[in-house]
Amino acid sequence: MNIRIKDIKAEGLSFEFHEDWENFPALVRFGEADQCEFLTPVRIQGRAIHVGRMIEIEGRIETSAALTCSRCLNRVERPLESRFAVTFFQDAGEEPEDEEEEVELAAEDLSLIPFHGEEIDLREPVQEQVIMALPIQVLCREDCKGICPQCGADLNEEECGCSPAVFNPKFAALKKIKVEKKD
Ligand SMILES: [Zn+2]
Ligand SMILES: [Zn+2]
């Protein structure tokens, strides 16, 4: 997933990588935390171009992941797609200390990424982008009925026959607060 600077000609460089998700440490950590499981290699497609002393990269990332429905907890497979644009700048690493600090701050603000040497590594920005593309909440289907809060049955598959809760504990809590205020 490295791009050699000397391969980026004046007209730019088109690239395409297929990388196993196991090669992205941040994605592996996600998998271990059991938040999701990536299913296909990550496909990264894009273009790199020189802009002054910087290198601008624009591209598209595609993969797919198995997530958990937030209502019924069943497995949901989803394609993930994300566009990204990052700018790399050659970090000479020779600035005096205080000036170096300033450069680092600016880099964070503008999402500039320093690189050293002959190559730039896309691993960091790509894994960041994949994680950002993950939906915070996912439903197996729009009208997922979820799980019965009383018996735990998957209501998409069966009607469990539990009587619906007649009493909302949220309202009870509110009532209590009001009473306490009067006192
Ligand atoms: Zn569901
Ligand atoms: Zn039930």
| Contact indicator for 76, 159 with CB cutoff of 8 Å | no
Predicted pLDDT at 90: 85
pLDDT in tens, 41-80: 999 999 999 998 899 999 999 999 999 999 999 999 999 9
Predicted pLDDT at 33: 80
Predicted pLDDT at 19: 95
User: How far apart are the CA of 156 and the centre of ligand 2, in A?
Assistant: 12
Ligand nearest to the CA of 160: 2
φ/ψ bin of 160: left (φ > 0), alpha (ψ from -120 to 50), beta (otherwise): alpha
Predicted pLDDT at 180: 57
List the structure tokens of 7: 């391969």
User: How far apart are the CA of 141 and the centre of ligand 1, in A?
Assistant: 6
Q: What is the pTM of this model?
A: 0.72
User: How far apart are the CA of 154 and the centre of ligand 2, in A?
Assistant: 8
Q: Phi/psi of residue 116, each to 5°?
A: -120, 145
| Contact indicator for 66, 128 with CB cutoff of 8 Å | no
Single-letter amino acid, residue 159: E
φ/ψ bin of 75: left (φ > 0), alpha (ψ from -120 to 50), beta (otherwise): beta
User: How far apart are the CA of 150 and the centre of ligand 2, in A?
Assistant: 5
User: How far apart are the CA of 169 and the centre of ligand 2, in A?
Assistant: 18
| Pairing, β 75-90 against β 112-115 | parallel
Q: How far apart are CA 55 and CA 111, in angstroms?
A: 12
Domain ranges of the chain: 2-133, 145-183
Q: How far apart are CA 90 and CA 120, in angstroms?
A: 9
- Residue 49 CB contacts under 8 Å (≥ 6 apart), including other chains: 8, 12, 13, 55, 56, 57
Ligand nearest to the CA of 141: 1
Residues with pLDDT less than 50, the chain: 96, 107
Ligand nearest to the CA of 150: 2
Query: Residue ranges of the alpha helices (H) in the chain?
Result: 25-32, 97-110, 123-133, 169-182
Predicted pLDDT at 53: 84
User: How far apart are the CA of 72 and the centre of ligand 2, in A?
Assistant: 13
